Structure formats: C-alpha cells, structure tokens
Structure 1
Amino acid sequence: MSSVAPRHPRRGADVLVEALIANGVETLFGVPGDTGVVFYDALFHQRERIEHVLARDERHAAYMADAFARVTNRVGVVEVSSGGGTTYVVGGLGDAYASGIPVLLLTSDIHRSSRGTGALTEIDQVALFSAVTKWQVVVERAADMPGAVAQALRTAVSGRPGPVALIVPEDVLEEMTDAPVVTSVATLPAERVPAPGADVARAARLLENAARPAVVVGGGVHASSGYAELSQLAAVLGAGVATSIHGQGAVATTDEWWLGIVGNNGGQPGTNRYLAEADVVLLVGTRGNATNTNSWTAPARTGTTVIQIDIEAERAGRNFAGSLGLAGDAKTVLAQLVSELSVVHKQVLDERRAQVAAARADATPATAGPEHAPGVIYPRSVVEAVHAALGDEVTVIGDPGTPTPNVAVFWPVAEAGRRTVIPRGHGPMGYAIPAAIGVAKALPGRPVVSVTADGSFAMACGELETAARFALPILFVQLTNNSMGWIKMLQHLYTGGRYFGVDPGPVDAVLVAKANGVDGVKVTSAQELEAALASFAADPRPFYIDVDVPHMIDYAPPVPAWDKGLAGNTERPVY
C-alpha cells in the first residue's frame, strides 16, 4: 500500500470518495437513504471524477456491481443506506459471494450515539452481511477511512475473490480528518501465487500417463486471465477442455480441444460422457460441485484421478477424496504444468483430437425449424438469431431458468474471453436486466444483450428506466412461457404433475418497457424476430423484444437429468 500526503481537514465522506477515486473506482451503483446523505453530498462535489448510477432497488444495484466486476476483473462498488437498504442488498450479494466475484459494499449506518436505542433502521450490519461477504469492518473514526478502503479493496481481490462490506456510521461521515489517502490493489488477481513445485511435478506425471486426460474449467480462469496457458496445456497434452457455465468462453468454441458445457445444466451428452470416461481430470478454477459434474458422474468421485487448481487451498480437491490439490493462481499454475509436461507423441495427439471431435459432435440436436408452433419460437433459435444479427463482440447476460442453458450452450465464442455472464452461484432470478446495465457501464459503447424470462422480468422491470435514463445500448430479449417454468418442470417430473404456485397471470412486458422509456415489440414469428434484431443492430439503444417460447414440459432445454425424468426416471438429481 502507498499513501498520498496529508491534506487539509475534510469530512469522512469526502475522504471516502477521494479514497475510491485514488484506487481507480470510476463508477459505483447505489440507492440513497437517510444515513448516507453526507456521502451523496461528497459525491456531488466529485461528480466529474466518479459516476454514480442510481438504481431503482438495492438488490439490483448489487447485481450491476457484480456484473461490472465480472467483465472487467475490477472491484464492482455498490452503495446503500442502513435499514431497508442493507436488508435489500443482501439478496444481491449472494451470487457474487458464491461465484467469487469481487464487490465492495459501502453502507452507511446510524449515528454511533443511537446504538442500542432501537433507532430507526438500526440493525447489526456485521452479522447481517456475514453470510454474503468474506470480510466486514465498521469504520469508527474518519481518520481510519483511507486505510479501511484500501484494505477492503485488497481483501476483495485477494485469495478467493468475493464481496466485502465497509460500514460507516453517519456521524463518521461528517467527522473531520486530515488523514492521507491510501492506495491498494483493486484488480484481479491481487498476486500470482504458484503451486508447490513438487505437487506440480506429480500432477504433470499423472497427466502424462493418462490414457484419456480431460480438463474442466470454471470462472477462475476468467478471473486469472489464464486463457493462453489453458490453450497451451490442452494442445501439449491433447486433452479435451470442458467448461462449467461460469467457465464458458475460457476457450473458443471453435478450438479443436473444446468439448462443450459439462454438468447437469446445459451439459452436452458427448461432453458428459467424455468426462465420465476420462481417467485423469484436471479441474481449473471451478467448484466441481454436483451440478458441474452431472451429479458426481462427470467426472466420477471414484475410479477417476482428479487434480484441482484453486486459489484457495481449502477448496483445492475438497469435493474429491484422495485428489491432488494445486493451490495457486490458475494462470500461474497452468504455466507451471506446461513447463513440466513432456511432449505427447503425434499419433496419440491425433487419436485424442479425433475423440474430442466425436464427443463435441454428440450435442443437443438442432431443431428442424425456428418455430415450435405458430407464434412460438424455440429458445435456441432466439439465441442463435441474436448472435447472427449482432456478432461476436457483444456480451450476453442470461437469467436463471430458460435463458441459462440456452445461452450457455448455443452462444458461440470466437475468441477466448468472458462473453457470457450467467449467475450460477445461486441462480437468482431478476439478475439479467440490472446486470446488463452494469456490463454496459463497464464496457461503454459496446452493445449488450440481456436474455431474461417473464418471471425474472417481473422482479426487475423497474431497472428498464435506468437503462433508458442512461440511453444504454442494451437489447433486452424476454423468453416468455407464462409460468415459473423451471419449478413447474420440476413439479411435472418429480411431484406427479401437481402444479402449485407456478402460474402467475400474464404481464404485457412491452407495454411496461415503453412505460419506462424503452421501445420494444412483441414478435410472433422468426421473420418478425429478425426484423426487430436488425432494428437494434442498426441503432443500438434500450430495446425490448418479447417472444413466446414453448414451455419446458413441451420442449425441454439441455438438462441431462430432465431427459432421464421424461424417460421415466423420477429420482431427483443431486444438486
């Protein structure tokens, strides 16, 4: 850490804003409240140097910061006030915490003299945030503000990234101090940590001696920017590379070693089979949980040698007894492995290349045409039409439910990098609309696509006004099946078709969008969809497209367990 020379006395709120600016924060997302008024006054005086994006809900502000962090590898910043603001924002931090996304939560609190009096908005914020942040601190003196900001930012990006909470009582925001500003690391990764050399050498020998090596990649490769090293390892070893949904894009989908999406949400038949039959599997920056491994079958917990690279030693190999953990930065450890690997014979490489190609070809079959029925378009066709119209340079965000497997599987990535953002830590509905705003602010001028569904739309439609207010180039695409489709499908498969609590009434999404200042259209054919996409491509702007898609009961998305369920296996999968 380094510090700037002391200045004249100023308010704690001013020091807080100065510290954010000094540490490279240019954008923060938030909703004002009583205890944060002085902080907003400090922002007013620095409005040319730091942008405040007013959200319409604290949870959505957190999603904006989360998505901002995912596509920049910088700390996303969200600000809320005590009471309702703090309780609302918790719901927006859960996925960032589970997914390892660095977010700085700034929250004001009640006056210190009011503690324990039952003051309006009083709540134990440290306890409240302990389940969704990796670190929490209450700043008790204005003089401590610069160091607390620097420590918070560094903590957010150190080790396994995650949200941190900086809590400031309102009277501390007004307290005067001449403390100097302190700077720290605020980007990923905080440091390049290597794995122990002996462990790397052992892992290299296991991979060299494998008859069918494979790699499974998660979001950790994006956080580490380990794309080149991953590609090099796959080519040297001749190993197929599968990704979790978070890892999608870690290798280009045109790469000869690309296997596809693995697991039970979007998992492809050939990909899951290849991992199930692999004898040595390298996990890189992925939790390797039941969903990512198709209920512990791809790879299996027994009979497969598992090596796991993870920045956090306690997580490296945790889910696979007897596995070899390589604790360190993904990019660094992959480079260590490459340097240890011997060259594989060309004939073996050719054989493995053919095996990967065969597995990749065993994928979800394309539909005969784009329309399931008159006025009803397949979700896959919608995703493919959007990509055809907008190309490779856009970033697409997918909500839970229908968008998740369809975006993950059917959105191609021409060059390694994060082109899709899907919240699979918790799978919170209502993420994609506000998250698209975060991405648009992170990547100014670049078109963004938000793929949502009618259930998620109802939770987040207020943020359409935010997109309109900033005139952001966001295409909102809604996949409508007029139900809580994912849960209704589970009831269909596993509770005898007894549907309950899953059929809300319809909402005219386009009318709501227009009421929020966003132009839009309801499309009823593939031709109308293409025309609407062409309109956005010619003039990127906040634009809403609502399209009816078949219910999952009538046309299941690529979810392997559901294929079994539809075939009569009513045992619920392990998640």
Structure 2
Amino acid sequence: MSSASPRRGADVLVEALIANGVETLFGVPGDTGVVFYDALFHQRERIEHVLARDERHAAYMADAFARVTNRVGVVEVSSGGGTTYVVGGLGDAYASGIPVLLLTSDIHRSSRGTGALTEIDQVALFSAVTKWQVVVEKAADMPAAVAQALKEAVSGRPGPVALIVPEDVLEEITDAPVVTSVASLPGERVAAAAEEIARAAQFLQAARRPAIVAGGGVHASGAYAGLQQVAATLGAGVATSIHGQGSIATTDAWWLGIVGNNGGQPGTNRYVADADVVLLVGTRGNATNTNSWKAPARSGTTVIQIDIQEARAGRNFEGSVALAGDAKTVLDQLLRELRGVLDPDLEKRRAAVAEARADATPRTQSPEHAPGVIYPRTVIESIHEVLGDDVTVIGDPGTPTPNVAVFWPVTEAGRRTVIPRGHGPMGYAIPAAVGVAKALPGRPVVSVTADGSFAMACGELETAARFHLPILFVQLTNNSMGWIKMLQHLYSGGRYFGVDPGPVDAVMVARANGVDGVKVTSADELKAALVSFAGDPRPFYIDVDVPHMIDYAPPVPAWDKGLAGDTERPVY
C-alpha cells in the first residue's frame, strides 16, 4: 500500500510510527482504540506491541525503554480508565526528563459534552505529566502531529508528550503522506553563551578545590568523554546523583561516589561541601541531590550549572553561573577554554579524591544479618559477582534504591542502572525490566524490587513469562512499608501506623504467573540461585529476607543523624 493511498487514520498513525523508527510500543487496549489495534494487526511484522497488564506499568516499560536507548519510548492507552491509570506511570518520566510518547484514543467527536462513557478532558488530565499535548482533529493531520510529537519529546528538556486521537478520526480516510522527525536524544546540540563559558572557565581555572556533580543529563547527552576530560583537566572529583550513576566509571581516578541524601557517601558529601567551585552537569541540584543544600551549599560556594533548559540552569543557586545548553556541547566549550592543572597540584587533588572516595559506607563483617536474613549489600554484590558487568539493573524505591546506586559498580561509563528518582514510584522495577529487556534484546536484566513494590506490580511477571525475557527478579523483603516505617521510627517517636501489611508468598505468586522462583535463606543459597540464572537466563524470581531499616539502615546520611538522636527531618 502506497503511503499516499487512501487509508484509515489509524493506519496512517501506525505507518508514521514505523517511518520514524518506532519498532516497539507498550499498551493496554480499550474500546476507543479498537481500530488502532486493527491497524497494528496489519503491521505486526514491522512493529511490536507489548501487551501490559496495567496502563501505569505500560508507561514504566516505555520510560525504561527510553532511558537505556535514548530513543522515544511509546505507550498506548484508551480513554477513561486507561488515561487516568497511565498518569501515574508518567510522573517519574516527566520529573526525570525522559522522552515518552503517549498515544491515547478518545471518544467520538460527536459525543463531546454529552457525558459519554469514558469522557474526560485529556489535555487537562495530562498537563501535569507531559510537556506538550495535541488533539488530532483530522486524519490528514496525523503524520505531521506524530512527527511534531516525537520532536517535542526530545527537544529542550526531554519529557513525555501526549498525542490524543478521537476514535472517529482513527476511522477517517485520508491520503496524507508520512512525515519523519527526530526521535532520539539529544534532539539538538545547543551551545551556551560564549561570555558565560569564559566566565565559568575563569572560576574553574582559579578553583583550589573544584568538584563536579553529574546527573542524568550526562546520559541523555552522551557526554561521558567530555565529563571525564574536564575532570582530569581540572583535577576535580566527580560525584553523581542517583540518575547520574554511571556518568563516569567507578574505576576512574576522579570518581567520588554518590552525593546527596539518598545513597550519599560520607566522603563524597564532604568533598562537595568543601569545594570552592562546583560544576553541576545535567542535574536538577535539588535538596535530595545536595544533601539538604549542604553539598554544595547555597552560599559560600561558586556554583556553575549546565542544563539544557534555560529556566533550570542556576535556578536553585542564586548568583550562580548558568550555562544553558547540551551537556556534551557545553563541556566541549569549557575544554577549549581550560588549561591543565600542573603537578604537584594535580597529584594532591587526585589524592584528595581518593581519600574522599575511601570514606564510604563500611562493609559488613558477615553476609548475613541473622539466620535466614541477608544484608542488601551482600545481595547486590553477589549479583554482580556472578553476573558481571554486562547486565542492566533496575532498582525500585525504598531498600533497593540506595543499595543499587552505591554498591553496583560501573566499569565503563554508561547507563547500567535505572532507578526512578523523579518521583520515586513504588512498583516501577518489575515492569521497567520488561521495557529494558525489549530495548536490549538478549541482554540479561536484573530487577531489584521489594515486597511493597512487588504487591503493586506482580501482574507484569506474566508479561515477562509470556515473552520469555531474560530477567532476574530479586525481592528484598522486610514485610513492611520499610522506608515510611523508618521515617516513623526516626521522626514520629516510633508510632508505626499504616506500614505493616500482611506477608505474601512472592515465589508462589511468581510461579502462578509462569515464572520459576526460589526463596533463599543464606548467602550460599543466594549464590546458587544466581548461578542457575546465569547458566540459563530466563524469567526467574528470588525472594530474600533482608533486615529492616530500623535494624540496619541503608546509606542515607540523614538517617545516620537521626539514629544518633537528631530528630529534625531532612529537607527534600
């Protein structure tokens, strides 16, 4: 069929996705999208539809797909419950700057305002979790709308966009030709103002103790080489946010560790707090990432911030130097202005970085906290020991987040971990693992979840089984809403409320969904289960009891203070 022959709007929509390089989309069908699914049926050899069991989870799949490919992830839902469900799955992508295209069908145009079943103002609904929305009113407008949506998703600060199509427009006949657009990151290479580059370079060159904080924007820009070169030129330690983990190899001499209040390491936080000039690269620089505005502080430190969005560059640090532009481009601009630091100053700075890096969360003396209870760090390090570097690890909020961020090594710069820190949505890791497995076919994926998140997302285990994806699911179980219970322990006088659900046999549930699994009660059993997965990568579930945070706190600096008697809640 010629791309200019008469066909349905739904067919044009599918053709436009294919023409723009979309090979996979995630979704759940509904009444208003039936014609779209018929169009997918006719193109099923060219574009794969991954049926999720929940619209929120479909959005997480598209989100994770986008993170590990730097291409636009695509999620499709129908009007009514589908649209309201998917909102919860887009919040983290919006906050984290992840390009996702939301396709949603809507009620027939003639039913608008009649109180039709599933009627809702979708533009208003999505305005809080997408950066751009459009309603396609005519089938002839479909190709241009798809191209524009993809461009918007990757332009400026990346983020989700919404393409809304009434069901009768999906059926409308048109001969409009397909239009192509940019559908990968970075959408554009924007340079910062030359005068601001010169000013920033002067501050960095004159710094006695420079530091760099790298965030997720380094991954989106592919700015790894420039980041490492700036660090080596200045003799500056590089700390990363959780989103920025992997911006620099953890084996690099200038790597400092995780900064901030979630996973932040003592030496890393201190090094950044003591720096006289701090360069923020592709990070929001919010309260969590700066350890409640201490690393760096909002006063007394010269802050330079690279951000693709002009309104965000320098926003959180009054008087800072704002470098609005693409991270790779701006780092290259700085490199042209900077001179190398000479010995012995360079060696002194290298030694200071090594000293700070060594001041880290101490290793536990034993792999087991008590009979049948294994330390989370042991779990993470055991996974890496058996599976090595060639895996992607997804961590849920709660216990998995700081442990994956801190204890998973990255020997070559790149995104090897996926942790949702825009909003920290529970239930992310299981569906996100499906998205990663579809994005990186054949590559083993590790999904580190917890019992609370498992309860929210266990239906997607069937999706993993249906596609026979090489995903290892590892559940860290403490039989509570552990993070919140820890907050109640520290800041509410130990008055625990609403945080103790009943236990669930996760392995039994996994098996009911077609996923083999095992409950492990020792470090040796854990290693045996990991070896089994390594020998036969397949959907496989491991449930392991870990100590409650009250008994063994994860690397969260504010909690160390709380356990020492400081009951003032940290600023988030």
Greater alpha carbon shift after TM alignment, 565-574 vs 338-347: 338-347
| Counterpart check, 1:175 vs 2:172 | yes
**Counterpart Cα distance in 2 of 1:337 and 1:400:** 36
Matched, 1:258 2:259: no
Structure 2 counterpart SS, 1:479: strand
Match of residue 185, structure 2, among 162, 165, 188: 188
- Equivalent position of 1:166 in the other structure: 163
* Structure 1 residues 442-487: Cα deviation after superposition (integer angstroms, max 9, x where no partner): 0000000000000000000000000000000000000000000000
Corresponding position of 2:210: 213
Cα separation, 2, equivalents of 1:80 and 1:163: 14
Mapped to 1, the partners of 2:520 and 2:336 lie a distance apart of 54
Aligned-residue offset at 1:554: 0.1
Residue 108 of structure 1: which of 105, 108, 118 is its match? Answer: 105
Output one character per residue of 1:97-150: Cα deviation in whole Å (capped at 9) or x when no partner.
000000000000000000000000000000000000000000000000000000
Q: Deviations over 1:181-212 (max 9, x none)?
A: 00000000011111111111110110010010
Where does residue 7 of structure 1 map in the other structure? Answer: 4
SS of alignment partner, residue 344 of structure 2: helix
2:319 to 322, 335, 347: 322
Establish whether residue 230 from structure 1 lines up as the match of residue 223 from structure 2.
Answer: no
Q: Hey, what does 2:427 align to over in structure 1?
A: 430
Give the 3 Å change call, closer, same or farther, for CA 448–6 of structure 1 in structure 2. Answer: closer
Q: Among residues 239, 242, 245, which one is paired with 2:239 in the alignment?
A: 242
Write the deviation string for residues 29-67 of structure 1: whole angstroms up to 9, x where unpaired: 000000000000000000000000000000000000000
1:226 CA drift (Å) = 0.3
1:354 and 2:354 correspond: no
Q: Hey, what's the Cα distance between the residues in 2 that align with 1:271 and 1:405? A: 14
2:330 corresponds to? 333
Number of the residue aligned with 2:195: 198
Summarize deviations over 1:224-276 as a string: whole Å, max 9, x none.
00000001110111000000000000000000000000000000000000011
Q: Which amino acid aligns with 1:465?
A: E
- CA-to-partner distance for each residue in 1:460-515, whole Å, 9 max, x for gaps? 00000000000000000000000000000000000000000000000000000000
Any idea what SS the aligned residue of 1:253 has? coil
Deviation at 1:78, TM superposition (A): 0.0
Note if contact 1:389-1:534 (Cα within 8 Å) is conserved in structure 2.
yes
Counterpart pick for 1:456 among 453, 458, 465: 453
2:145 aligned residue = 148
Select the residue among 467, 472, 480 that pairs with 1:483: 480
Are the equivalent residues in 2 in contact too, given 1:437–1:472 (CA < 8 A)? yes
Determine which of 63, 67, 82 is the counterpart of 1:66. 63
Tell me the residue number matched to 1:571.
568
Other-structure match for 1:558: 555
State the alpha-carbon separation in 2 of the partners of residues 21 and 38 from structure 1.
17
Superposed displacement of residue 5, structure 1? 8.3
Spell out the pairing of 1:72-83 with structure 2 (5 A cutoff): 72-83=69-80
The Cα of 1:344 is off from its aligned counterpart by 1.0
> What percentage of aligned pairs have identical amino acids?
86
1:346 offset after TM fit, Å? Answer: 1.7
Provide the rounded CA distance (Å) in 2 between the counterparts of 1:231 and 1:563.
32
1:7 positional shift: 1.4
8 Å Cα contact 1:5-1:181 kept in structure 2? no
Counterpart of 2:368 in structure 1 is: 371
Within the candidate set 117, 132, 136, 1:135 is matched to 132
1:530 is matched with: 527
Which string of whole-angstrom CA distances, capped at 9 and with x for unpartnered residues, describes residues 525-573 of structure 1? Answer: 0000000000000000000000000000000000000000000000000
Hey, what does 2:395 align to over in structure 1? 398
Q: Aligned residue for 2:275?
A: 278
SS at 2:349 equivalent: helix
The CA distance in 1 between the partners of 2:402 and 2:179, in whole Å, is 44
Unaligned ranges ≥5, structure 2? none
Q: Separation in 2 of the partners of 1:543 and 1:343?
A: 50
Alpha-carbon shift at residue 387 of structure 1 (Å): 0.4
Quote the Cα distance in structure 2 between the aligned partners of 1:191 and 1:106. 24
Aligned to 2:16: 19
In the alignment, what sits opposite 2:489? 492
Report the Cα distance in structure 2 between the residues aligned to 1:307 and 1:7, rounded to whole angstroms: 51
The question of 1:342 aligning with 2:339 is answered yes
Q: Secondary structure at the match of 2:472?
A: strand
1:307 maps to which residue?
A: 304
Distance, in Å, in 2 between the alignment partners of 1:370 and 1:442 is 34
Match of residue 545, structure 2, among 539, 545, 548: 548
Query: For the Cα contact (< 8 Å) 1:284–1:310, is it kept in 2?
Result: yes
Counterpart residue number, 2:383:
386
Q: How far apart, CA to CA, are the structure 1 residues paired with 2:147 and 2:379?
A: 44
Cα 1:483–1:192, aligned 2, differ >3 Å: closer, same or farther? same
Secondary structure at 1:137 match in 2: strand
Q: Deviations over 1:370-424 (max 9, x none)?
A: 0000000000000000000100010000000000000000000000000000000
Aligned residue among 439, 444, 447 for 1:447 = 444
Structure-1 residue corresponding to 2:470: 473
Distance 1:193 1:521, change over 3 A: same
The code of the aligned residue for 2:329 comes to T
Which of 19, 38, 46 is matched with 1:41 structurally?
38
The amino acid of 2:427's aligned partner reads: G
Normalised by the length of structure 1, the TM-score is 0.99
SS of aligned partner of 1:19: helix
Q: Is the 8 A contact 1:269 1:363 kept in 2?
A: yes
Instruction: Say how many residue pairs are matched.
Output: 572
Mapped partners of 1:14, 1:295: distance in 2 = 51
1:143-198 C-alpha deviation (Å, 9 max, x unpaired): 00000000000000000000000000000000000000000000000111111111
Deviation of residue 369 (structure 1)?
1.1
1:293 Cα deviation from its structure 2 partner: 0.1
Deviations 1:417-437 (A, max 9, x none): 000000000000000000000
Counterpart check, 1:293 vs 2:290: yes
TM-aligned CA deviation for residue 6 of structure 1: 5.5
- Check if 1:117 corresponds to 2:80: no
Superposed CA deviations along residues 291-334 of structure 1, whole A, max 9, x for unmatched, are: 00000000000100000000000000000000000000000000
Provide the C-alpha distance between the structure 2 equivalents of 1:462 and 1:191, rounded to a whole number of angstroms.
38
**Distance across 2 between alignment mates of 1:217 and 1:7:** 47
1:281 and 1:304 in contact (8 A); partners too: yes
Whichever residue aligns with residue 265 of structure 1, its letter is N
Distance 2:87 2:93 in 1: 10
Secondary structure of 2:323's match? Answer: strand
- 1:276-300: per-residue Cα shift (whole Å, max 9, x none)? 1000000000000000000000000
Equivalent position SS for 1:183: coil
1:411 corresponding residue in structure 2: 408
* Distance in 2 (alpha carbons) for counterparts of 1:382 and 1:190: 38
Write the distance in 1 (CA, Å) between the matches of 2:361 and 2:335. 33
